[in-house]
Each structure stands twice: as C-alpha cells, then as structure tokens.
Amino acid sequence: MNRLLIVDDSKLMRDMIAACLRPLGAVAFEFAGTGLEAIERLALAAFDLMVLDLNMPDVGGVEVVEFVRAQDRLRELPILIVTTRGDDDSRAQVLGAGASGFLAKPFAPAEILGEVRRLLTPARAIGRAPA
Amino acid sequence: MSDDVDLGEFVAGFIAESDELIATANAALLDLEAANLAGAPRPRAVRDLFRALHTIKGLAGMIGVEPIVELAHALEGLVRTADRAGSALARDAVDVSLRGVSAIAERVRAVAAQRAVPPVPAELLDAIAVAAGEVGRPAARAPAPGPTAVDAPGWDAGLTPGDRQQLAAGWGAGHRAWRVSFAPSEASAARGITIASVRARLGELGEVIKVLPRATPGQASSVAFDLLVASAAPAEALARAAATTVDQLVELIAPPAPPAPELDASEPAEAAPRDDGGAMLGRALVRVELARLDELQDQLSLLIVSRFRLEREIAALAERAVDVRALREIANLQGRQLRDLRRAILRARMVRVAEVLEPLALLVRSLGRSAQKEVRLVLDARDAELDKAVADRLLPALVHLVRNAVDHAIEPAEERVARGKPRAGTVTVTCADVGGNRLELIVRDDGRGIDRRAIAARSRRAVDADADLLDVLTSPGFSTRDVATRTSGRGLGMDIVRRIATGDLGGELAISTTPGAGTAFTLRVPLTIALVEVFSFVCGRQTFVVPVSSVEEIFELRAGQDVQPPAAAGASSPVRLAERRGQAIPLRSLGCVLALDGGADARKAIVVRRQGAPVGFTVDRMLGRHEVVVRPVDDPLVKLRGIAGSTDLGDGRPTLVLDLGALVAERPV
C-alpha cells in the first residue's frame, strides 16, 4: 500500500487533496500542517510520495524540498508541489530545488490525481538517465 | 471506483475555515494599526495577515468563488508590497485592507446562504491598488523607529531583518535568547512529543523566533530541529518544554544589565516580576485559542452522546429484568459530572467585554473620517465578562448602533457649535453586570436625538411611548433611504439589532431619547447562551438542522441497498427499508413527511432512534456541522410536532430545528 504525506497549513486543503486522491484506492494518508512537521514525519517513517504546499509558517515548501533533497535516503522521494503561487518564478525555483512536479491551485480533482498517478508509477523513470 | 470527485462537500468546511482566517486577518490588521500608533514594527502580524489571505485565496479557488480569489489576491499583493518595501502597513493601507477583508467576509456569508456571490466593486480594487502603490514607495515615509536590530551570535543560519527586530524587542524586555535543540523519535512521537508540540510549548514560554531543521546523519534520529527562542523563563522550564536537559540549551545572548531595582536591592531578582511574562505568571493566566475551547466542547458533546448510549443500554438491560441500580447510580453521577464539566468549560469561554469592544474604536475613527465628523468614543466596560459565543453575536449589534450614532445622530461640527454643544460628538458604550446572569450595555450619543414627529408621520402611528418608537424603528421595512428618517437620527439595520438582542440572545432592547441632547439604546443580554451542535442538510430545496446528539448515524443511499423496493408499498406510502449491518431500517422520505416539493433525489439517510428502534429519514444532501443557538418557535402556525425550534445559520433567515424522533411518532411505521 502506498503511503502519502500531504503537507498544507490549511486542514481543509489537506482534506480536499485527500478527497481528490480517494480514487487511488488503497492508500494510507498522513498529514502535516507545517514544513517542520513534514520534515519530522519524513525522518520517522517511509513515504512513497509527498504533496507539498509552498507557503507555510516557519519553514516553507522550497526549504523543505531543499532539505529533503540534501538527505540521501529522500533523494528519490517524489514531491508534488501544490501551490497558489502559480507563477513561473515559483515553479522554476522549486523545480530547481528538486521537486518532481508542480500544480497550481486551484486544480481540478482529476489533475492532481493524474499527477500523483504519474509520479507513483515506476515508469516515470523512462527518459531519465539510469541512476 | 470512479475518478469523479466532487469538492462540493467541502463548502461547509470552506465557510468554517474562512471565518477563522478572516478573524486572523482582522486581528493582524488591528495589531498593525496599534503598531502604527506605537511606532513599533510587527513582522509577525504582517506574516499572519499574508498567510491568512493567501490561504483564503487558495481555498476559494478550489471551491470556485472567483470574487473572493480576486479580493484576496489584491490584498495579498498589497501586504507583500508593504513587506518588501520594509514599511509597516500605513494607516490608509490598514483601512483599505479592513474594507477588503470585510468584503471577503460578506462573500463568504453569501456562499453560506447559497446566494449569488456579488462581484467585487471596481472602486475597492482601485483603492487597494492605490494603497499598494503608496506603500511600494520606500521613501514615502520614514521607517518606523523600531528597536535596533541585534544579531544572534552562534546562530548558524541568517536571520531576516524582521527576526532580528523581534529578537531585539525581546532583548529590550529582559528576555534571554536560547538555542533549544529537539531530536524527534518514534518513541517521543508516540507520546505526543513532536516538533509541533515542542514549538507550541516553547511558544507559551516565550517567542519562538526561528526554527531550523538540521540533518544529523548517522545518529538515532536523522534530523534535529534548532529553535531560536527569546524567553524570560528559567532554563529548566525551557528544557522541560523541549523534552531535553538544560545542558542541551545554548544561551545566545545575555540580557542587558537590569536597571537598578528601586526598592530593595538585596531582594532576589526572581521575586520581582520583570516583564509581562512574569506578571502573567503571577496572575496565572494562560492565553488559549478559541479553537481549543471549541475542541473541548466538541469532546464534551461526544461524551454526552456516549452517555445517551449508555443510558439506552441500561434501559435495555432493565427491560430484561437485570438489576441495574448500581449502574444507574453511576450513570446519574456521571450525568452531574458532565453538567459540571460543561459549566467549567463555559466559564473558560468568558472574555473581557473591554476586549470585545476594542474594534469599535477603529470603527468610530474610520466612520468619523468618512462622514467628516469629529467623534470621540468612550468605552467603559470595567471588569465585565461574557461568553465568547454571546460576544461574537453581540458585536454586530453594537457595530450597528455605533455606526448609526456616528452616521446619523451626531451632527456636523458647525451645527454642534451653533447649538452650543462641544465641537466633537461623543459616543459612549458602557457595560455593567446587572446580576441575574445578565449584562447591560448602553450605547449613548450626544447627538440630535430622535424626531418623534417625523417618525410618527412616516409610520402613520403614534410613537410617544418609547416602546412604540422602538417598535417602529426596529420594524424590518423601516428604511434609512427616506430623508425624514435619515434626519431623524436612526438608520437602516435596527431590525437586525433587535433580532440579535431579543431573538438570538433572548435579551431585551430599550430606547430613550431627548431632542437635541441625544439617544441611548440599552441592551440586556444573558452572560452565556446554550449552544447546540447541529448537522445542517437540504431537503426539498430547504435547509434544516438536527441536533448532533439525536443522530445515530448518517449514511449514503446507494442503489440496490433497499431490502424492499419502494414501489411495492404503493405510491402513497413513503416507507422503504435499507439494510445496515444486518438490520433492516425503515426509511422515510423527509420530503414526503414534511410535504415539501422535490426531495426526489435523496442521497443521504439520517438515522435516529425512537423507543430503541432505528428509523432513517432520507434527505437530499448534508451541508455541515454548526454550533447554534436554538430559539423556541412562538408562532402557533409553525408550532408543530417535530419542530424543536428555529435557529439562524448566519444568513439572517430562520432555519427550522427538527426533532426527527417526534416525526416518527406522528405516523408510526
């Protein structure tokens, strides 16, 4: 069963994201309300994918990505950024920091579902240089 | 499973979370307003404001409420510009932001009432853009004289200028700065000790200025967190809060040498409260977010529900001739304890009236400015307290009264001078506990008073008695648009004041007025009100609520779930059966029972118990969960079995509170 970590400072947004991903079927969701909690959860448990907001108190999404990518065991963790900051600068900055995907809010349920499915499929490695 | 997901079910959640975010934004703006007066920057308030607007924008986008997205986006831009220019939000920017946030609140209410959401007035967007242009110019005004920034030696990561200012402010207040490290582990997480709880506990002891994660490869935990904390608390308390030991704490900055104590120099330093923190500890005060008290109350309602279950089981046992006297005794004791607990929680919800009235000062200032009048507000609430739930409902009524006083009752300065009155008008709000669990609030102005003759002419009835005058003023049709009423000194919205004071809160409203000398409105309201948790739902295009405590379960109707097809019973009978956990539950269409139009596309069933047996009512869809004040229904036409009262879900329209159990009894199945 895939384990997904959903990180957003709005509880409603976390719930909505989980609802959008319900069609995935057997998935275990965990939630974090701040970047710090996300880093803590990632340190204590193994996840198959993280959905991450950018604007959060203390430690923002970009800093979480940078921190996560600097750790060997989390280098391959798929990270889908979901943010209201949909501009090109934010996208370039966070993808540059190592995020795997980027989705601007608002998004349709099918969009995030498609992105998560794509990131969870091992075939995403196609076209990438073998590690 | 289909990939179709409908976010419509989150509308109720959107309304609830938006309300919280709006409150956060307003609090931050008022804080910034106060900071402007004090000349001290408040980086935290700016950040809180920004994040609240940003989150509202994101959520409104998901739900698809474009005008709210537009407003939040414009305001967010204003705050970001102010932040980048390093200037505090100036007076005009705070004003326009408050207007913007109230426009957002208005649109959230429209969503709640399922009304069309009005588009954003171009004038408001322009005003926000103008304010953003002003704050964007860094040279527009000299930076506020804040405390000198200090650096934290020994702190690895760069601090922003805002962080340094915060640190300096704490330092000035006699705080010490510490680096507290916390290494999370599965074991501590299982005991509820996480970075979130550590941060919260340290936040209670001082100011958490920054938290940074640090990779610690090769150690038991692969990460650790460093928290930069400014606090006057002893090192032991900080270490305890972070679940660590004192030797793990690093002091970054020593406090400045304390000023020579004026009293007894030999007295130990700890004995004298050195700052607010110390004084707070002396009075044993804890600041609690309302959400936590609400949570407490939620838990209490769950307890009450499980107590009902317990009682039911005891009754079932008694029917089987089991001796339940001892059990019943315990259950009764538990009932009393629950009541005591409820009372204790209500006490914890009491807030100081002086704090509740605070926003009025801001209101009078901005109203006075837009009406070009000189108005002074005098608040006198002494030590009175009231339930936060009452305060939240009362404030809009007070806002209406104060607004009317400034807009209509207080004369322009020249007119006042000509009449031999002081140039500036005065609006006084006094508040006193009058005993009998009641609070009396008086909103008084020294304006022109109400012209009874004009009101009598307009309403075509005698208004010599104060009660008659009040009756006319608070009748819904009585409008300010009429010139006669405008000059007579009262405006629109008085019906709302009466609805809040007498309807929602079960209080009293009175008036006294003297021509040329002013008017006083007296509100008497209970200190606390009983709140009931309800589920709201739609049936036949109408909204109803049922008390949460009466609901056994709510389930989704699916095709093929019926034990017996509805057609078999004939069109006249609305009864069908559904299987739940091996038990057949009779289902009745609530639409048919209440003789409503529609109700054909029922998608949910609400199960209640009647004399131990479950009965389901089918409804169109569920809306959400609310805490409401239930009013008895006085109108004999509406006084029906199955209607427990009426309430207001915030849209100003009455919503019926149903007693589904009683509806079962009406037509036995």
| pLDDT score for A122 | 66
The most confident of A47-56, B20-29, B542-551, B563-572, by mean pLDDT: A47-56
Question: Which CATH superfamily hosts domain A2-56+68-121?
Answer: Response regulator (3.40.50.2300)
| pLDDT score for B356 | 84
| pLDDT score for B592 | 83
Residue with the bigger pLDDT between B178 and B488: it is B178
Mean pLDDT of B82-105: 81
pLDDT interval class at B252 (50, 70, 90):
confident
CATH assignment at residue B634: 2.40.50.180
Residue B339 pLDDT greater than 70, yes or no: yes
Residue with the bigger pLDDT between B412 and B662: it is B412
| pLDDT score for B659 | 85
Residue B24 pLDDT greater than 80, yes or no: yes
Which among B55, B186, B225 has CB closest to A10?
Answer: B55
Per the CB < 8 Å rule, is A23 touching B2?
yes
Is there a single domain that holds both residue B44 and residue B183? no
Provide, rounded to the nearest whole percent, the portion of chain B with pLDDT above 70: 77
Residue B64 pLDDT greater than 80, yes or no: yes
Is there a single domain that holds both residue B408 and residue B306? no
Provide, rounded to the nearest whole percent, the portion of chain B with pLDDT above 90: 14
| pLDDT score for A94 | 86
Nearest Cα of chain B lies from the Cα of A106 at a distance, in angstroms, of 5
Q: Is residue B598 part of a domain?
A: yes
Residue B570 carries which DSSP code?
-
Asked if A40 is an interface residue toward chain B (Cβ–Cβ < 8 A), one would say yes
Which among A20, A33, A44 has CB closest to B184?
Answer: A44
The ranges assigned to domains in chain A are 2-56+68-121
Q: Is B589 exposed, middle or buried (0-12, 13-18, 19+ CB in 10 A)?
A: buried
Residue B631 pLDDT greater than 60, yes or no: yes
Residue B257 pLDDT greater than 70, yes or no: no
CATH assignment at residue B223: 3.30.70
pLDDT interval class at B396 (50, 70, 90):
confident
Chain B contact probe: residue of A14, A44, A55 with most B CBs at under 10 A: A44
Is there a single domain that holds both residue B294 and residue B382? no
Chain B contact probe: residue of A40, A42, A68, A103 with most B CBs at under 10 A: A40
Chain B contact probe: residue of A6, A52, A84 with most B CBs at under 10 A: A84
Residue with the bigger pLDDT between B476 and B277: it is B476
In tens, the pLDDT along B485-525 reads: 343 344 446 777 888 888 778 788 999 999 999 999 999 98
Q: CA-nearest residue of chain B to A11?
A: B17
Gap between the Cα atoms of B364 and B375, Å rounded? 7
Minimal CA–CA distance to B202: which of A32, A67, A40, A58?
A: A58
Is there a single domain that holds both residue B512 and residue B433? yes
| pLDDT score for B537 | 92
Q: Are A120 and A78 in contact (CB under 8 A)?
A: yes
Asked if A111 is an interface residue toward chain B (Cβ–Cβ < 8 A), one would say no
Q: In which domain, by residue range, is B116 found?
A: 7-140
| pLDDT score for B156 | 45
Is there a single domain that holds both residue B508 and residue B382? yes
Which among A13, A55, A71 has CB closest to B222?
Answer: A71
Q: How many CA atoms lie within 13 A of B207 on its CB side?
A: 20
Q: Are B18 and B59 in contact (CB under 8 A)?
A: yes
Q: H or E element: which one contains A52?
A: strand A49-52
In tens, the pLDDT along B103-137 reads: 999 999 999 888 889 999 888 888 888 887 766 55
Look over chain B and give the mean of its residue pLDDT values, rounded to a whole number. 77
Per the CB < 8 Å rule, is A23 touching B3?
yes
Is there a single domain that holds both residue B223 and residue B336? no
Gap between the Cα atoms of B631 and B545, Å rounded? 13
Mean pLDDT of B219-241: 85
| pLDDT score for B541 | 84
| pLDDT score for B669 | 40
Q: Are A119 and A102 in contact (CB under 8 A)?
A: no
